[in-house]
Amino acid sequence: MRTVWTMGFVAAAALSFCLPDFIVFRFTQAVIWSIALAGLVILCGVSGQFSFAQAALFGIGGYSAAILSAHTPLSVYGGLLLAPVLGFAAGYGLGRVAGSHSLWTQALVTYAFAIAFPQLLRWRPIAQWTGGVQGLYLDFPAPPFEGLSGDRWNFLMALGLLAAGLWLARNLIDGRAGRAMRAARDHDLAAAAQGVRVTQVRAAASGVAGAYIAVAGCLSAWQFGFVGPTGYNFALSVQMLFGLVVGGMHSLAGAVLGGLFLQFFPDVTAGLGKGLSALLYAVLLIVAMIAMPTGVAGALARLAVVLGLRRP
């Protein structure tokens, strides 16, 4: 499987040189979605938590890159170092507050954070840094090689970060930390009796997820060249959850499939009926979740077992 994944990433990188910049731009956004959803796989699928805070964490990554670019002489690439640190800190803090409580409490705490974040960006004492209601513009990092377009460089950079992120996530899930997360997910009291520090494990999972989502937000800010409070609303959190459920929350492959779904599925519904795209999107989404409760990745895994390509 490692060979298959490696070949897939190499093929995607090579294919980007054969496609026009507009198509590469769209696939870049799909890769960015996939990075964010990989963090949610760790948070929701592996550790069994629930969150509405992903829009705020996404915004933390975007604003870290924008503020660094607009108000400091540091390299714009510093955003890729600052974003995961701030995302981890915010996610870890949320995990410490809500991780020891029920899913309902986690939903309410993270919902409050997601609702408060856009208001915080408009807060007058810090508006000079965040740009207030007008937001901030930022320049895209210049490609390091002559003749390489900005869209293609952003795609290659995002693809490399996705590959590294999936590799790190797989090692985390298969290691001791992943086993502790699954134990806390399946039965917190039994896990605590075995010496697992449930609150700390859940907070660490929330922090790792925050780092992934913040990196995705940084890349998205570079791609669009703008950050503003209205871009990080509650609907963005729900949209990511849709992608997670449809792709498959228990599989890192589901994160990739979910990213492609979030980027390209609206095009399918838009072509089916003018003026009814939102309704068709909702209906098809409900049908997909009912027909594939474990997501597209789970359905493909079951199909592989039926065909004898994979062990049960």
pLDDT of residue 212: 97
The whole-angstrom separation of Cα 216 and Cα 285 is 24
Residue 188 amino acid letter: D
For residue 302, count CB atoms less than 10 angstroms from its CB and return exposed for 0-12, middle for 13-18, buried for 19 or more.
middle
* Among the listed residues 56, 67, 101, 39, the one whose alpha carbon sits nearest the alpha carbon of residue 232: 56
Render pLDDT for 171-209 as a digit per residue (tens, 0 to 9). Answer: 999 999 999 999 999 988 899 998 899 999 999 999 999
pLDDT of residue 309: 65
pLDDT of residue 183: 93
The residue length of the chain stands at: 312
Q: What is the mean pLDDT of the chain?
A: 89
Per-residue pLDDT, averaged over 235-256, amounts to 90
Q: List CB contacts of 141: < 8 A, sequence separation 6 or more.
A: 76, 77, 153, 157, 222
Per-residue pLDDT, averaged over 52-62, amounts to 95
Render pLDDT for 113-122 as a digit per residue (tens, 0 to 9). Answer: 999 999 999 9
DSSP for the chain, please give it.
Answer: -HHHHHHHHHHHHHHGGGS-HHHHHHHHHHHHHHHHHHHHIIIIIIS----STHHHHHHHHHHHHHHHHHH-SS-GGGHHHHHHHHHHHHHHHHHHHHTTS-HHHHHHHHHHHHHHHHHHHT-HHHHHHH-GGG-EE-PPPPPSSTT--HHHHHHHHHHHHHHHHHHHHHHHHHSHHHHHHHHHHH-HHHHHHTT--HHHHHHHHHHHHHHHHHHHHHHHHHHHTEE-GGGS-HHHHHHHHHHHHHH-TT-HHHHHHHHHHHHHHHHHHHHH-TT-HHHHHHHHHHHHHHH-TTHHHHHHHHHHHHTTSS--
The whole-angstrom separation of Cα 213 and Cα 29 is 13
pLDDT of residue 72: 87
More confident of the two residues 63 and 274: 63
pLDDT of residue 277: 65
Predicted confidence (pLDDT) at residue 10 exceeds the cutoff of 80: yes
Percent of the chain with pLDDT over 90: 56
pLDDT of residue 275: 61
Q: Which residue has the tokens 């599925």?
A: 265
Q: List CB contacts of 24: < 8 A, sequence separation 6 or more.
A: 16, 149, 151, 152, 155
More confident of the two residues 303 and 237: 237
Band (pLDDT 50/70/90 cuts) for residue 163 is: very high
Pair 213, 57: CB distance under 8 Å = yes
Predicted confidence (pLDDT) at residue 273 exceeds the cutoff of 80: no
